[in-house]
Amino acid sequence: MAGQLDEYGMVLNLSDIKHDIKREVTEPLDFSFLNDVWPEFQQTLPTTEHIAKVIWQRLAPHLPIVQIQLFEHPDLWADYYGNGNEVYLSLRTHFSAAHRLAIPGASDDENDRLYGKCARPYGHGHNYHLEVTVRGTMDDRTGMSVDLGALTQLIEDRVAEPFDHTFLNVDIPHFADGAIVPTDENFALHIRDLLETPIAELGATLHKLKLIESPGNACEVFGTQVSDPFPQLTVR
Protein backbone atom coordinates (compact mmCIF):
# COMPACT_ATOMS: atom_id res chain seq x y z
CA MET A 1 0.00 0.00 0.00
CA ALA A 2 1.06 3.62 -0.39
CA GLY A 3 -0.05 6.92 1.06
CA GLN A 4 0.83 9.91 3.17
CA LEU A 5 1.66 9.51 6.84
CA ASP A 6 -0.92 10.84 9.23
CA GLU A 7 -0.22 12.66 12.49
CA TYR A 8 0.30 9.30 14.20
CA GLY A 9 3.00 8.16 11.76
CA MET A 10 0.80 5.71 9.85
CA VAL A 11 -0.55 5.43 6.30
CA LEU A 12 -3.52 3.51 7.67
CA ASN A 13 -4.33 1.97 11.02
CA LEU A 14 -2.80 -1.51 11.00
CA SER A 15 -5.77 -3.01 12.83
CA ASP A 16 -8.14 -1.70 10.15
CA ILE A 17 -5.89 -3.09 7.40
CA LYS A 18 -5.82 -6.54 8.98
CA HIS A 19 -9.59 -6.47 9.39
CA ASP A 20 -10.14 -5.61 5.70
CA ILE A 21 -7.72 -8.31 4.50
CA LYS A 22 -9.28 -10.93 6.75
CA ARG A 23 -12.85 -10.05 5.72
CA GLU A 24 -12.20 -9.78 1.99
CA VAL A 25 -9.48 -12.40 1.42
CA THR A 26 -8.11 -14.71 4.06
CA GLU A 27 -11.37 -15.68 5.75
CA PRO A 28 -13.22 -16.71 2.56
CA LEU A 29 -10.14 -18.39 1.03
CA ASP A 30 -8.68 -20.21 4.03
CA PHE A 31 -9.24 -23.99 3.83
CA SER A 32 -11.37 -23.54 0.71
CA PHE A 33 -11.48 -25.23 -2.70
CA LEU A 34 -10.44 -22.22 -4.76
CA ASN A 35 -12.20 -23.31 -7.94
CA ASP A 36 -15.55 -22.96 -6.16
CA VAL A 37 -15.07 -20.20 -3.62
CA TRP A 38 -15.37 -17.08 -5.82
CA PRO A 39 -17.25 -16.57 -9.10
CA GLU A 40 -14.10 -15.17 -10.74
CA PHE A 41 -12.59 -18.65 -10.55
CA GLN A 42 -15.52 -20.15 -12.44
CA GLN A 43 -14.51 -18.12 -15.48
CA THR A 44 -10.71 -18.23 -15.18
CA LEU A 45 -8.78 -20.92 -13.31
CA PRO A 46 -7.22 -19.95 -9.95
CA THR A 47 -3.59 -19.89 -10.99
CA THR A 48 -1.17 -17.98 -8.81
CA GLU A 49 -1.34 -15.07 -11.27
CA HIS A 50 -5.13 -14.95 -11.36
CA ILE A 51 -5.55 -15.27 -7.59
CA ALA A 52 -3.22 -12.29 -7.15
CA LYS A 53 -5.30 -10.24 -9.60
CA VAL A 54 -8.62 -11.13 -7.94
CA ILE A 55 -7.23 -10.35 -4.48
CA TRP A 56 -6.28 -6.91 -5.82
CA GLN A 57 -9.81 -6.41 -7.16
CA ARG A 58 -11.32 -7.45 -3.84
CA LEU A 59 -9.09 -5.19 -1.74
CA ALA A 60 -8.77 -2.13 -4.00
CA PRO A 61 -12.11 -0.60 -2.91
CA HIS A 62 -10.94 -0.68 0.71
CA LEU A 63 -7.16 -0.11 0.69
CA PRO A 64 -4.67 2.06 -1.28
CA ILE A 65 -2.99 -0.92 -2.91
CA VAL A 66 0.02 -0.57 -5.22
CA GLN A 67 1.14 -4.22 -5.26
CA ILE A 68 -0.09 -7.71 -4.47
CA GLN A 69 2.56 -10.39 -3.98
CA LEU A 70 1.21 -13.92 -3.64
CA PHE A 71 3.42 -16.91 -2.86
CA GLU A 72 2.12 -20.32 -3.92
CA HIS A 73 5.22 -21.77 -2.22
CA PRO A 74 8.71 -20.38 -1.47
CA ASP A 75 9.93 -21.03 -5.03
CA LEU A 76 6.91 -19.69 -6.96
CA TRP A 77 5.08 -16.38 -6.62
CA ALA A 78 3.24 -13.70 -8.58
CA ASP A 79 3.24 -9.91 -8.38
CA TYR A 80 0.29 -7.85 -9.62
CA TYR A 81 0.22 -4.05 -9.94
CA GLY A 82 -3.33 -3.39 -11.14
CA ASN A 83 -2.50 -3.14 -14.83
CA GLY A 84 -5.18 -5.20 -16.59
CA ASN A 85 -4.00 -8.74 -17.26
CA GLU A 86 -0.30 -7.89 -16.97
CA VAL A 87 1.33 -9.98 -14.27
CA TYR A 88 4.81 -10.87 -13.06
CA LEU A 89 5.61 -14.51 -12.28
CA SER A 90 8.76 -15.52 -10.38
CA LEU A 91 10.53 -18.84 -9.99
CA ARG A 92 13.42 -19.68 -7.67
CA THR A 93 15.99 -22.41 -8.21
CA HIS A 94 19.46 -23.21 -6.90
CA PHE A 95 22.78 -24.77 -7.90
CA SER A 96 26.32 -25.00 -6.57
CA ALA A 97 29.41 -23.70 -8.37
CA ALA A 98 32.92 -22.45 -7.66
CA HIS A 99 34.90 -19.54 -9.07
CA ARG A 100 38.03 -17.49 -8.64
CA LEU A 101 38.01 -13.72 -9.08
CA ALA A 102 41.28 -12.68 -10.69
CA ILE A 103 42.37 -10.72 -13.75
CA PRO A 104 44.70 -12.81 -15.94
CA GLY A 105 48.18 -11.30 -16.09
CA ALA A 106 47.69 -9.18 -13.00
CA SER A 107 49.93 -9.74 -10.03
CA ASP A 108 48.73 -11.61 -6.97
CA ASP A 109 48.97 -8.37 -5.00
CA GLU A 110 46.80 -6.49 -7.51
CA ASN A 111 44.16 -9.22 -7.62
CA ASP A 112 44.20 -9.37 -3.84
CA ARG A 113 43.65 -5.62 -3.70
CA LEU A 114 40.71 -5.85 -6.13
CA TYR A 115 38.99 -9.04 -4.98
CA GLY A 116 40.37 -9.86 -1.53
CA LYS A 117 39.91 -13.47 -0.42
CA CYS A 118 37.99 -14.22 -3.63
CA ALA A 119 41.30 -14.04 -5.55
CA ARG A 120 42.93 -16.94 -3.73
CA PRO A 121 44.40 -19.27 -6.36
CA TYR A 122 42.33 -22.40 -5.77
CA GLY A 123 38.94 -20.69 -5.88
CA HIS A 124 35.97 -21.08 -3.59
CA GLY A 125 32.38 -22.28 -3.87
CA HIS A 126 28.86 -20.93 -3.43
CA ASN A 127 25.38 -22.37 -3.10
CA TYR A 128 23.77 -20.00 -5.59
CA HIS A 129 20.07 -19.17 -5.53
CA LEU A 130 18.50 -17.75 -8.68
CA GLU A 131 15.18 -15.90 -8.92
CA VAL A 132 13.77 -15.37 -12.41
CA THR A 133 10.87 -12.96 -12.92
CA VAL A 134 8.96 -12.84 -16.22
CA ARG A 135 6.26 -10.41 -17.32
CA GLY A 136 3.32 -11.70 -19.29
CA THR A 137 -0.32 -11.20 -20.17
CA MET A 138 -2.64 -13.55 -18.34
CA ASP A 139 -4.94 -15.61 -20.54
CA ASP A 140 -8.62 -15.06 -19.68
CA ARG A 141 -9.42 -18.77 -19.89
CA THR A 142 -6.39 -20.54 -18.44
CA GLY A 143 -5.28 -17.87 -15.96
CA MET A 144 -1.68 -18.41 -17.08
CA SER A 145 0.76 -15.72 -18.20
CA VAL A 146 3.29 -18.29 -19.43
CA ASP A 147 3.53 -22.09 -19.59
CA LEU A 148 4.88 -22.74 -16.08
CA GLY A 149 6.15 -26.21 -16.88
CA ALA A 150 8.03 -24.99 -19.94
CA LEU A 151 9.50 -22.05 -18.03
CA THR A 152 10.64 -24.28 -15.18
CA GLN A 153 12.27 -26.72 -17.59
CA LEU A 154 13.92 -23.89 -19.51
CA ILE A 155 15.60 -22.53 -16.38
CA GLU A 156 16.69 -26.04 -15.41
CA ASP A 157 18.09 -26.84 -18.87
CA ARG A 158 19.80 -23.50 -19.55
CA VAL A 159 21.10 -22.60 -16.09
CA ALA A 160 20.65 -24.87 -13.08
CA GLU A 161 21.89 -28.12 -14.62
CA PRO A 162 24.75 -26.77 -16.82
CA PHE A 163 26.25 -24.68 -14.00
CA ASP A 164 25.72 -27.10 -11.13
CA HIS A 165 28.97 -28.42 -9.57
CA THR A 166 31.21 -26.57 -12.05
CA PHE A 167 34.29 -24.42 -11.65
CA LEU A 168 33.15 -21.39 -13.64
CA ASN A 169 36.65 -20.26 -14.64
CA VAL A 170 37.42 -23.65 -16.20
CA ASP A 171 34.19 -25.45 -17.11
CA ILE A 172 32.11 -22.58 -18.56
CA PRO A 173 33.35 -21.31 -21.96
CA HIS A 174 32.06 -17.79 -21.31
CA PHE A 175 34.58 -17.41 -18.49
CA ALA A 176 37.23 -19.97 -19.46
CA ASP A 177 39.58 -17.68 -21.43
CA GLY A 178 39.85 -15.29 -18.48
CA ALA A 179 38.64 -12.23 -20.41
CA ILE A 180 35.48 -12.05 -18.29
CA VAL A 181 35.90 -12.43 -14.54
CA PRO A 182 33.03 -14.51 -13.06
CA THR A 183 31.88 -11.93 -10.54
CA ASP A 184 28.29 -12.09 -9.34
CA GLU A 185 27.47 -9.24 -11.71
CA ASN A 186 29.07 -10.80 -14.80
CA PHE A 187 27.52 -14.16 -13.95
CA ALA A 188 24.05 -12.60 -13.68
CA LEU A 189 24.49 -10.86 -17.04
CA HIS A 190 25.52 -14.15 -18.64
CA ILE A 191 22.46 -15.92 -17.24
CA ARG A 192 20.26 -13.12 -18.58
CA ASP A 193 21.75 -13.63 -22.05
CA LEU A 194 21.05 -17.35 -21.83
CA LEU A 195 17.41 -16.93 -20.80
CA GLU A 196 16.08 -13.81 -22.49
CA THR A 197 15.42 -15.11 -26.00
CA PRO A 198 14.03 -18.52 -24.97
CA ILE A 199 11.65 -16.82 -22.54
CA ALA A 200 10.46 -14.54 -25.34
CA GLU A 201 9.81 -17.65 -27.43
CA LEU A 202 7.46 -18.82 -24.66
CA GLY A 203 5.46 -15.60 -25.09
CA ALA A 204 6.72 -13.75 -22.00
CA THR A 205 9.38 -11.13 -21.29
CA LEU A 206 12.30 -11.54 -18.93
CA HIS A 207 11.75 -8.76 -16.41
CA LYS A 208 14.64 -9.39 -14.05
CA LEU A 209 16.74 -12.04 -12.43
CA LYS A 210 18.33 -12.03 -9.00
CA LEU A 211 21.44 -14.09 -8.42
CA ILE A 212 22.08 -14.68 -4.73
CA GLU A 213 25.69 -15.68 -4.17
CA SER A 214 25.50 -15.78 -0.37
CA PRO A 215 23.14 -14.48 2.34
CA GLY A 216 25.02 -11.17 2.28
CA ASN A 217 25.65 -10.76 -1.45
CA ALA A 218 23.25 -10.67 -4.40
CA CYS A 219 22.90 -9.02 -7.80
CA GLU A 220 19.80 -8.03 -9.78
CA VAL A 221 19.82 -7.64 -13.56
CA PHE A 222 16.86 -6.40 -15.60
CA GLY A 223 15.89 -7.67 -19.03
CA THR A 224 17.01 -5.63 -22.02
CA GLN A 225 13.38 -5.02 -23.02
CA VAL A 226 12.41 -3.55 -19.64
CA SER A 227 11.52 0.15 -19.82
CA ASP A 228 9.94 0.43 -16.36
CA PRO A 229 12.06 -1.71 -14.02
CA PHE A 230 10.21 -0.65 -10.88
CA PRO A 231 6.45 -0.91 -11.57
CA GLN A 232 5.78 -1.03 -7.84
CA LEU A 233 6.78 2.65 -7.63
CA THR A 234 4.01 3.65 -10.03
CA VAL A 235 0.57 4.08 -8.47
CA ARG A 236 -2.03 2.99 -11.00
- pLDDT tens per residue, range 30-43: 999 999 999 999 98
- pLDDT tens per residue, range 169-198: 999 999 998 899 999 999 999 999 999 999
Instruction: Say what the pLDDT of residue 11 is.
Output: 87
For the chain, list the domains and their CATH numbers. Answer: 69-233 (3.30.479.10)
- pLDDT tens per residue, range 193-222: 999 999 999 999 999 999 999 999 999 999
Instruction: Say what the pLDDT of residue 231 is.
Output: 64
Instruction: Say what the pLDDT of residue 230 is.
Output: 65
Question: Does residue 235 have a pLDDT over 70?
Answer: no
Backbone angles phi, psi at 214, to 5 degrees: -155, 170
- pLDDT tens per residue, range 131-155: 999 999 999 999 999 999 999 999 9
Query: What pLDDT band is residue 236 in, cutting at 50, 70 and 90?
Result: very low
Q: What percent of the chain has pLDDT over 90?
A: 89
DSSP string, the chain: ------TTS-SS-HHHHHHHHIIIIIHHHTT--HHHHSTHHHHS---HHHHHHHHHHHHTTTS--S-EEEEEETTEEEEE-SSTTEEEEEEEEEEEEEE----TTS-HHHHHHHHGGGG-TT-EEEEEEEEEEEEEEPPTTT--SS-HHHHHHHHIIIIIHHHTTEEHHHH-HHHHTSSS---HHHHHHHHHHHHHHHHHHTT-EEEEEEEEEETTEEEEEE-TT-S-S-GGGS--
20-45: burial string, b at 16+ Cβ within 10 Å, e else: bbeebbeeebeeeeeeeebeebeebb
Hey, which residues are catalytic here? 118, 165, 213
CA gap 209, 154 in Å, rounded: 14
Taking the CA atoms of 21, 24, 27 and 29 in sequence, report the sign of the dihedral they define: negative
**What is the average pLDDT across 96-108?**
95
Query: What pLDDT band is residue 226 in, cutting at 50, 70 and 90?
Result: confident
- pLDDT tens per residue, range 20-74: 999 999 999 999 999 999 999 998 999 999 999 999 999 999 999 999 999 999 9
Please, which residues bridge with residue 33 across strands?
Answer: none
Query: What pLDDT band is residue 234 in, cutting at 50, 70 and 90?
Result: very low
